[in-house]
Amino acid sequence: MSDLLFDAPKTHSIPVEGAGADYPVHRIFCVGRNYAAHAKEMGVEVDREAPFYFTKTPSATTPSGAEIPYPPGTENYHYEMELVLAIGKPVFRADLKTAAEAIFAYGCGLDMTRRDLQLVAREKGRPWDLGKDFEQSGVFAPLIKAEHVSEIGPQRIFLEVNGAVKQDAHLSDLIWKVDEIVSDLSKFYHLGPGDVIMTGTPAGVGPVSAGDKIIGGIDGLGMVSLSITAAE
């Protein structure tokens, strides 16, 4: 390899419970509108024809428990509590069984969103990057290996801001199930270790301000938290 003119970018990673090592993040895929009640609150109908995706840059990876400044360029900064998948095997055009077997771990994540910028982009038919892919916009709790998770469905997924419950649903409310998401995404990408998927948020999204503390959780999959400080 040629010498590099600048320092190579840092590898971002997510801790894995009991593994003694981290999961390196290569790509972050996000599923849009995967809970009917959330799609409705966003003023759109759910389309069962196919899921759709957007991405976040891996350097957006932020550990649970972080204190981060209110981000630039927005006046409507939202939380979205999500189930996170981490892929552990190479898969391409995977059937549902192969897709399920490729899931290495599950976890809790926050898809932090500049909602005002996302909605402007949506209305104008522009990409969502400014609204979704920005610094510290992907917050991840330590992952739990899939071998320790019996079934995805009955678990409660919830989020609180300053102790008040804002999102409260169950993973059984997911429109696209975890194996369906991995199978579908593998039609478009060679997925493999390092690929993280945020599976969409339930209803109840809303804004946060400087001084707010967010705590989210999924039964059996731990908790994710984030504190917002004053804008830089």
Q: By CB under 5 A, name the binding residues for Mn ion.
A: 80, 111, 201
For the chain, report the end-to-end CA distance as a whole number of angstroms: 38
CB of 79 to Mn ion, least distance (A): 10
Q: Which residues pair with 85 in a beta bridge?
A: 106, 197
CB of 132 to Mn ion, least distance (A): 8
What are the C-alpha distances in Å from 104 to residues 15, 122, 140, 147, 169? Answer: 13, 33, 15, 8, 24
CB of 202 to Mn ion, least distance (A): 10
Question: Residue 12 or 115: which CB sits closer to Mn ion?
Answer: 115
Question: Residue 34 or 186: which CB sits closer to Mn ion?
Answer: 34
Question: Residue 12 or 38: which CB sits closer to Mn ion?
Answer: 38
Q: Is the torsion defined by CA of 34, 158, 68, 105 positive or negative?
A: negative
CB of 16 to Mn ion, least distance (A): 22
Structure tokens at 80: 């979205």
The answer to whether the beta carbons of residues 212 and 228 sit under 8 Å apart is yes
Dist CA 136 CA 225 (whole Å): 13
Determine how many CB atoms are found less than 10 A away from the CB of residue 104: 18
CB of 28 to Mn ion, least distance (A): 11
Question: Residue 88 or 109: which CB sits closer to Mn ion?
Answer: 109
Question: Residue 80 or 160: which CB sits closer to Mn ion?
Answer: 80
Per-residue DSSP letter, 22: E
CB of 98 to Mn ion, least distance (A): 25
Nearby residues of 49 by Cβ (< 8 Å), 6 or more positions away: none
Question: Residue 145 or 170: which CB sits closer to Mn ion?
Answer: 170
